[in-house]
Each structure stands twice: as C-alpha cells, then as structure tokens.
Structure 1
Amino acid sequence: MTDPDTAATDAHLLETLANLRWNRFHTIVVLLFGLGWALDAFEVTLIGNVLGALRQHFHLGSNAMSFILAAWFAGLMLGASGFGILSDRYGRRRVFLASLVLYGVATLATAFAPDLAALMVLRLIAGIGVGAEYAAINAAIAELVPSRSRGRASAIVLNFWPVGSFVAALLAWLVLSALPADLGWRVVFALGGAIALSAAWFRRHLPESPRWLIEAGRREDARVIIGRIAAGLTDATTLAPAPVVQRVRREVNGLRVLLRHYPGRLALGAVLDFAEASGYYGLFAFLPIVVLPALHLPPARLPLFYLAGSVGALIGGFAAASLLDRIGRGVTVAGFYLATALALIGFAAITGMGAGAIMLGFALVNLLATGSWIAAYPMFAELFPTSLRATGIGASVAVGRIGAALSPFLVGYVGARSMPAALVMLAGFWALGAVAVLVWRRRGGIEARGLALEQLAVEPARYV
C-alpha cells in the first residue's frame, strides 16, 4: 500500500510531466519514434510492392500469396501481444530497441531466402518485431508528451507511416524497373533491413518512460528523467536495471485485470483494430491478388499504385492529426471510419473503368483509411492505465491481426468472383469500427481530449 507522502510525490512528478511546455526533447522524440514507425510502414508495404515479383519467382497462386501475408500477420499478432506484456513488465525502452533490431535482422536475412519456406519463416519473425513496435511505441509516445498535445503528437508519429509506404513504393518501383525481378526483390529487402538497423542506433538515445519508472517504484530515476525532459535534453540517462521480479508477479495476469475492470475499453480497442486491420490490409491485398491478374499488369507497375496511395495516406494522416485535439477523439475516429466505408462503396462502382480509375480510387480510399487508424490508435491507447497500457494495446492489435490475416484470403476468394463485391465487403469492416465508437460514446465512454493520462485511468464505470 502506498503511503501518503509517496503518493503525493508520485502525483507531483506526474503532474509536472503532464504539464511541461513542448520543447526540443518532445520534437526529437516524435521524430525518432516517427522514423521507426516509417520503417515499420516500409516493412509492411514492402511485401505488397514485391509480391508480384515473388509470384513470378516462386510461381505462386493467389492462395500461396495469401499465406505469405498470413505469416506476416501471425508474426504481428504474436509480437503485439507478447511484447506488449513484456513492455509493461520490463519497460518501454528495452522493447522499442529490441523490436527494431529483430525485424531489421529478419528483413535483411529475407534478401537471402533460398526458398519459399525460408521466406515465410523470416516474414513471421520480422512481423514479430513490427508487432512489438505497435505496443511499445504507442505506449511510450502517449507517456512522454504533454497532455494538451498528446493526441496530435501520437498522430504525427503514426503519420510517418505513409512516408515509409511512399519510400517503400518508390524504392521498389525504381529497383524492380532497373534490375531483373529475381534480383530486385532481394535488393529491396536488403536495403530495408539495413535502414532499420541504422534507425535502432539513433533510437538508443531515448530514455525510459518516467510513468513506467514510477509504477516500478523507481521515483528518483523518474525525477531525473523528467528534469532532463524539462531541460530539453535527449540523451538517455545511464540508469541501473529495473527490479523486474516484483513487476512480473504483479502483472502476469494483466490481461485478466483488463477484462475484469476495463472490458469496454479493451473491447473498443479490439474492435477498432480488427475493423481497420481487416479493411486496411484487405485493401492492400486487393491490388496484387485481384487487380494485377485481372488487368494483366506487370509486377513493376504495382508500386505505382502504392505511390498514389501513399500520397493520399499522407494527406489523411495529417488531417487526423489536426482534428484529434480540436474536435475530440470520438467524432474524428467515427467520422473517418464511416467516410472510409462510404468511399469503398464508391470505389466499387468505378472498378470497371480501368487501371487509372482504380489508382485514383485507391488513393482516395487510402487517404481516409489511413486517417482512420491514425486517429484510432491514440484514442484507445490512452484509455489503459500505465501499468497495463502496452498490454492493452498489444491485446487490441493482436485481435486486429486476426482480421488482417483472414482478410487477404477473403479478398482473394470474393475478388476472384467480383471486384466490386470484395470492396463492399471491406466497407463492412470499416462500418463496424464506426458503430463501435458510437456504442462507446452512447454508453458513457470517456472523451480523452486534453485530459492527463492519470485522469483517464480512474476506477472505471461498469461498461467503460
């Protein structure tokens, strides 16, 4: 049980952290986390860009391509759920450094994959690394920035995703156009792995989350880091390893605690992530699995579709970042999800107009889809208490990756019979997310705009 003096000290430290003025530290944190997130996007988008080349090299059918994507999503699910728990036990910093190294090494090794089985195993491992990023980065950025800027800062970090997607598409297009397809995809993976490992070197300067340190009983370490943050310093302080044994025992049933005390919050996170992951990755699988064979396009043309989509995504992401702290989380998220569903129905109506119309339709839908998930992550990530934040994010993302793994198979099956029907199916996933937000708000779900994280973690009501 915490004594009054200790509780007062914790409250003072947390209040100081929440009310700091934005300074050089916060800007660099956003840039370094954003760089890592861009590389995650690079990794995720990379497989879609080279899937046409892999199809030729390994003589794959649509089911085999779906299995490559499914291996990747299975890795994401394992990484998000497993490393989310580890991030709450051992700290954010250990996980967001290990995640970059893990998927960087796996991606670099993919360039030398001798056969399809090895490629799928390496995709699984790289997916675990990226899944770890989902939990650790979203928890860390929410805990390190001032309350009044939390939504915008989180969204800006996530908005590096379309930047990474654009670079992946551009690189894949240039390399696949300049080199033989059998060599080009290997070069693209090698470059992606090298860039990821370089980013890990820069990220090592970031400190541990003071909120996590306070939860671990390391108040003096937290005080030192908060002082350095207030001074705008970015170099990580050398600290002794955390006393983790007590935390392992305390948090081993973290998911059970969330289910018992925060079921509405966990349900909201799981449904939002399931809806966006099913819809978003289904949309990206739609191009190589359905569009490419139907229009008889060469693999080198596929990155052009992703380039157009990345431009749209960048616009959508910045729109979400500007709205979260202005009009609130609920309205922004529900509006984007609903708009994405309607845009997919409109996209379905123009699929018979040729490659140009499909490219424009994909760019518009990707604009709205990216704005949707960039708004959704800050919304549900900040609702979990600090001691369980990464576990809650990881559990939500893990549920979402189930939809992401199934979606390519559904898109391939339905799309082989009707392109418009596949897009209408994806619209249904996004509509599910909009409904989840409306139910959350109707049942008294909290609006987090402008509130400190500690205000959001008060004893929950019956449903939220």
Structure 2
Amino acid sequence: MSLPDHYSAAETGLLDQLSTLRWNRFHTMLVLLFGLGWALDAFEVTLIGNVLGALRAHFHLGSNAMSFILAAWFAGLMIGASGFGVLSDRYGRRRIFLASLVLYGAATLATAFAPNLAALLLLRLIAGIGVGAEYSAINAAIAELVPSRSRGRAAAIVLNFWPVGSLVAALLSWLVLSALPPDIGWRVVFALGGVIALSAAWFRRYLPESPRWLIEAGRSSEARVIISGIASGLTSHPKPAAARAIQRVRRETGSFLLLLRHYPGRLALGAALDFAEASGYYGLFAFLPIVVLPALHLPPAQLPLFYLAGSVGALVGGLAAAALLDQLGRGWTVGGFYLATAFGLVAFSSFTRMGAGPIMIGFALVNMLATGSWIAAYPTFSELFPTALRATGIGGSVAVGRIGAALSPFLVGYVGARSMPAALIMLAGFWAMGAVAILIWRMRGGVEARGMALERISPEFIANV
C-alpha cells in the first residue's frame, strides 16, 4: 500500500525507514526521558490527593472547597491539552514538550509558597496547563518516533511511568507528612516536586524534533538527518533550526474544525474514551480524600498509604496493558480493561462497609484495572489522527475528558455523602461508557492499528471511518 499523494518518493522512503527501524539505544533513551516526564506528571497529579488532608486543615476547607482545588487543576489540564495541542501541530513537538516541563515545574515550586487559597488555586491552574501540554506533545511524539511494530508497547511503557510517579508521590508525602508538621510538610512536598520537574527539562533538551512533523512542515532535509541519527542510535541530536512561520507547516493544521469535518468518528472515539477514563479515574481518586477520609475519621498522614497501595496495583495493570496492546490488539485490550474496571467498581462498593484495610485492598485492585484501561486507550486513539493534526486530536480528546474529570469530584462528593456504594456504582457507569464506545468503533469497521505504519492508519486510507 502506497503512502498519500502529497508525499514525494524521497519522503516516502524516509517515512518507511523510520517505521521499520530496529529498536536501538535511542529508542530506549526516548522511552526513559519521556517516561521520566510522565512520572513527574503523575507525581504532580497524585500529589494534590495525598496532601488534600493537610490542605483541608491548613486552609479550613470543606468538601466543596477541596473540589474547587481539583477543578482548578482539571481546568488547567483542559486548557493545556487543547491549546498546546494546536501549538504542537503548528510549531513542533519539541518546543512544547520542553516548555511544558518548565511551566508546570515552576508553578509547582511556587505552590510551596502559596500564601492563601486564591494563590493556591491560580498556581494549580497554571501547573495543570503545563501537564495538559504534556498530554498532547508526548503522546504525539512517542507515536511518531518509534518503529511501527513496537509503537503500542513503547507508548504504554512510557505511560507506565505514571504509577511509578504516583508511588513516589505517595511515599514522599507519607514520609514528609509523618516527619514534619502538616503546615510545613505539604509545602516541602510541592517544593521537591517542582525542583525535580525543572531538572528533568534539562535532560529532555537532547531529544530531537519529530521527523514526521518536519516532513509535514516541508523540512525533509532536517528529517533525513534526524532519521539517520536515530538509525545510528545517537542519543544526542542538534537543536532544530528556526523556521519562518510560512515554512512551519505544509498544509492547514491545528484546526478543530478540520477534525470535526473530516475525522468525526476518530475524534468521537478519542473523546469518549478519555471522558470515560478521566471521569472514572479522577472520581476514584477524589473518592478517597472527599468521602473515605471523613467517613473513617483517618488522620491526613494515613491517606498516602491508600495511594501507595493503589500505585502498586496501577503498575501491575499498566504493565499488563503494555504486554497486551501489541498481542491482542487495541480493540480487545481497551474494551476488556474498561469493562473489567466497571465490574470491579461495582464489586468494590461492597468493600466500603468493611473498614480501612479492605477499602485499601479494593482500591488497589480497582486502580490496577483503571490504570490498565487508560494506558491502553491513549496509544489507541493517538495513532488514529494524521500527523498534521495528531496533537490537536489528542488535545481535543483530552480536553473533553477533563470536563468529566472536573465534574466528577463534585459528583463523588455529592453522591458519596449520601452513599459510598452509590458513588462507586456511578463511577462504574463512566467506565462502561468507554467499553461501549470501543465496541461501536469496532462494529462500524474502525481500524485496528496494531503493527501498521502511522501513514497507513491516517484517514487518507480509511474511507468513511
């Protein structure tokens, strides 16, 4: 099968070479550096849940105020994913995945010095924008830089650094909050997270621009040099040359209207999968500090223990998704995990009557399934968009998902105050929506992209999907 007509013979050769390269030390370094950034994103996301108990006491917050802290974060994610997704398609992946780390690292460091609740909310919004930018740029870049036969597994391995970051955040929060007064401990944790994130940005500067994006921008000579370096296993690449605005893109890019007009099915699938997992996943994590902690009268320093158990389960689930994506395929893996998570949450609802220990075990098991679900989902919908609109498509999907993530803590707080099992059953409904979405996609003939080159997945090849 040939590539689209807008590629020249030389460009087709470069793209085929990039798709069929053997795995080497460059790809390993790529996974590690993107994974480190993703771990820091997870650290940032999980951190707020771990210290919510301390923030509640320090700022004298009720459940609604705590939900506003989470909502500010999710609003930032939505802005960052959608806005920086467009910028990533317009100006390249590299600029965005460097800027994103600097932005949220600086905001996290500044959060340690927040004097009041208003400042805290503003800084959580800014940090969320930085992490949202990561969602778009990293998922686009990892899909475009690894060989086709390893794309699903490599993307899932990068995403598996998320539970590692969650585990570190929970462990660090538990140690610091146990050793220091709560009023000081939460500030120390944020300061450490910010410093680590800013340090990671320094190492990421060695990563190259996506050759696929450069080819779309009419800069094939630069793409050829980078592909040659990747084939040789180089782990340090020169900074891309600056280009005039007119040279940055060959075709119209970064437009949500284009996505809606030409790729509605793919965008709908991405939005549905992300809305389902974000509503269910962040609702599950809000369930602990907003519902469980007050109901069981646990001290704030014990909450990170729940997240430690959940992070262990998450790592198991994420590794399982990484193993299955390139074996069973995208449809079976995503659908199976989403459906299992829905049933798992229904079962978990019976654990809420058994005390702190069973709740911790149930949370770890459910988080195992939930993490496997979203780790399988991101590579699945990221690869469906053409290169010129990939980050925009990812950002649009994530932005829709963050709407659910922002609303879910309020719903969990409202329903959970009346019935803990009912809150979990509500979350199960979100995951069931994702299972239905992938089922409809496959029943309508949606592409199964396992092992296919990205250019052969793009809508130029798949009519009416």
TM-score of the alignment, normalized to the shorter chain, above 0.5 = yes
Question: Paired residue for 2:127?
Answer: 126
Question: Paired residue for 1:104?
Answer: 105
Q: How many angstroms apart in 2 are the aligned matches of 1:7 and 1:245?
A: 20
The answer to whether the Cα contact below 8 Å between 1:261 and 1:460 also exists between their aligned partners in 2 is no
1:145-160 equivalence runs, <5 A? 145-160=146-161
Change in 2 beyond 3 A, CA 1:55/1:229: same
- Does residue 187 of structure 2 align to residue 186 of structure 1? yes
Partner AA of 2:377 in structure 1: A
Question: Paired residue for 2:411?
Answer: 410
Partner AA of 2:385 in structure 1: F
Q: How many angstroms apart in 1 are the aligned matches of 2:224 and 2:250?
A: 25
For the aligned residues, what is the CA RMSD? 1.5
- Does residue 307 of structure 2 align to residue 286 of structure 1? no
1:31-46 equivalence runs, <5 A? 31-46=32-47
Partner AA of 2:35 in structure 1: G
Q: Secondary structure at the match of 2:113?
A: coil
Question: Paired residue for 1:374?
Answer: 375
Q: CA deviation at 1:459?
A: 2.1
Q: How many angstroms apart in 1 are the aligned matches of 2:247 and 2:425?
A: 50
Question: Paired residue for 2:433?
Answer: 432
Q: How many angstroms apart in 2 are the aligned matches of 1:3 and 1:38?
A: 36
Partner AA of 2:408 in structure 1: S
Unaligned segments of structure 2, at least 5 residues: none
Q: Secondary structure at the match of 2:218?
A: coil
Partner AA of 1:417 in structure 2: R
The answer to whether the Cα contact below 8 Å between 1:262 and 1:460 also exists between their aligned partners in 2 is no
Change in 2 beyond 3 A, CA 1:251/1:57: farther
Q: How many angstroms apart in 2 are the aligned matches of 1:279 and 1:236?
A: 40
Deviates more, 1:242-251 or 1:174-183: 242-251
Question: Paired residue for 2:358?
Answer: 357
Change in 2 beyond 3 A, CA 1:3/1:182: closer
Q: Secondary structure at the match of 2:326?
A: helix
1:2-21 equivalence runs, <5 A? 7-21=8-22
Q: CA deviation at 1:129?
A: 0.1
Q: How many angstroms apart in 1 are the aligned matches of 2:14 and 2:236?
A: 20
Change in 2 beyond 3 A, CA 1:95/1:443: same
Deviates more, 1:84-93 or 1:244-253: 244-253
Q: CA deviation at 1:349?
A: 1.2
Q: How many angstroms apart in 2 are the aligned matches of 1:437 and 1:5?
A: 31
Partner AA of 2:221 in structure 1: E
Partner AA of 1:274 in structure 2: F
Q: Secondary structure at the match of 2:8?
A: helix
Partner AA of 1:405 in structure 2: A
Partner AA of 1:94 in structure 2: R
* Deviation by residue 1:50-89 (Cα, 9 ceiling, x = unmatched): 0000000000000000000000000000000000000000
Question: Paired residue for 1:244?
Answer: 245
Q: How many angstroms apart in 1 are the aligned matches of 2:4 and 2:316?
A: 49
Q: CA deviation at 1:242?
A: 2.9
1:377-388 equivalence runs, <5 A? 377-388=378-389
Question: Paired residue for 1:337?
Answer: 338
Question: Paired residue for 1:260?
Answer: 261
Question: Paired residue for 2:301?
Answer: 300
Question: Paired residue for 1:57?
Answer: 58
Partner AA of 2:343 in structure 1: L
Question: Paired residue for 2:231?
Answer: 230
Partner AA of 2:52 in structure 1: L
Q: How many angstroms apart in 1 are the aligned matches of 2:325 and 2:272?
A: 19
- Does residue 393 of structure 2 align to residue 392 of structure 1? yes
Partner AA of 2:223 in structure 1: A
Question: Paired residue for 1:68?
Answer: 69
TM-score, structure 2 length as denominator? 0.98
The answer to whether the Cα contact below 8 Å between 2:26 and 2:234 also exists between their aligned partners in 1 is yes
Deviates more, 1:417-426 or 1:248-257: 248-257
TM-score, structure 1 length as denominator? 0.98
Question: Paired residue for 1:453?
Answer: 454
Change in 2 beyond 3 A, CA 1:5/1:172: closer
Change in 2 beyond 3 A, CA 1:5/1:415: closer
- Does residue 142 of structure 2 align to residue 141 of structure 1? yes
Aligned length: 463
Q: How many angstroms apart in 1 are the aligned matches of 2:135 and 2:23?
A: 24
The answer to whether the Cα contact below 8 Å between 1:144 and 1:209 also exists between their aligned partners in 2 is yes
Change in 2 beyond 3 A, CA 1:419/1:331: same
Q: How many angstroms apart in 1 are the aligned matches of 2:217 and 2:204?
A: 23
- Does residue 213 of structure 2 align to residue 208 of structure 1? no
Q: Secondary structure at the match of 2:239?
A: coil
Change in 2 beyond 3 A, CA 1:317/1:219: same
Q: Secondary structure at the match of 1:395?
A: helix
Partner AA of 1:272 in structure 2: L
Q: Secondary structure at the match of 1:449?
A: coil
Q: Secondary structure at the match of 1:95?
A: helix
